[in-house]
Amino acid sequence: MECEKMKLKHLLYILAASLMLFSVSVSATVAIAKEQTASPAANQTDGSAPSPGVGVGRAHASGGGNAKPAPKPKPKPKSNKGKKKSKKKKKKKKKKTKAQKYKSAKKKGKKVKGNNKKVTSEKNFPRKYKKYSSIDYYKNGKLMKRRYYGKNREAQTDIHYTDHNNPKQHPKVPHRHDWYKDKKGELKLKKKWY
């Protein structure tokens, strides 16, 4: 029993001694760090050149002098080397207006997306229809004509996908015919093609 008490007492002494050593070493380390950050020239008050060894490894007991700590160096900008590049944000595409969709489709000779109709009879192939739209005329399952209607709902251009059984007069297939208004204000198809 007494042996155990002695061991316990001995351990307490060792613990107390190690705590004292630790606190002394921490305070000495802090003092050394403070001194190292201050420049040796700032600690000199008489203007003479700093002597070697002064200010390094010693802690000043008194707080005398006008020693100012040296300014901290600015952090370097982080480098992107070795890092994966972040995905660039995709720009949202602006939605095209009906007029823009119509103009693009007409230029390319395609049907107007979302505003196109299919007919199989010439009777159902009107001169006036919805604005910024197109109508396709099919005969026997084959596309014969595509008509484009502009802002005022009137036919503007026809694309013919046939030579009208007259290859001399219409050698180019497909070809286009524009619409115009005559003196009476009626819509007529121009004979001239391009």
Query: What pLDDT shows up at residue 11?
Result: 82
CA distance 149 to 155: 4
Tens-digit pLDDT profile for residues 35-90:
776 655 545 555 555 555 444 444 454 555 566 777 788 877 776 666 666 566 67
Give the global pTM.
0.51
CA distance 67 to 37: 11
What rounded mean pLDDT belongs to the chain?
Answer: 79
Tens-digit pLDDT profile for residues 108-134:
999 998 889 999 988 888 999 999 999
Confidence of residue 144 (pLDDT cuts 50, 70, 90): very high
Of 140, 148, 142, 138, residue with least CA distance to 111: 148
Mean pLDDT across 91-112: 88
Sign of CA dihedral 139, 145, 146, 152: negative
Query: What pLDDT shows up at residue 27?
Result: 75
CA distance 188 to 127: 9
- When comparing pLDDT for 25 and 107, which is higher? 107
Would you say residue 178 has pLDDT above 90?
Answer: yes
Q: What percent of the chain has pLDDT over 70?
A: 77
Of 137, 133, 146, 150, residue with least CA distance to 175: 146
Query: What pLDDT shows up at residue 168?
Result: 85
Yes or no: say if 180 and 170 are a contact pair by the CB < 8 Å rule. no
Query: What pLDDT shows up at residue 152?
Result: 93
Query: What pLDDT shows up at residue 63?
Result: 52
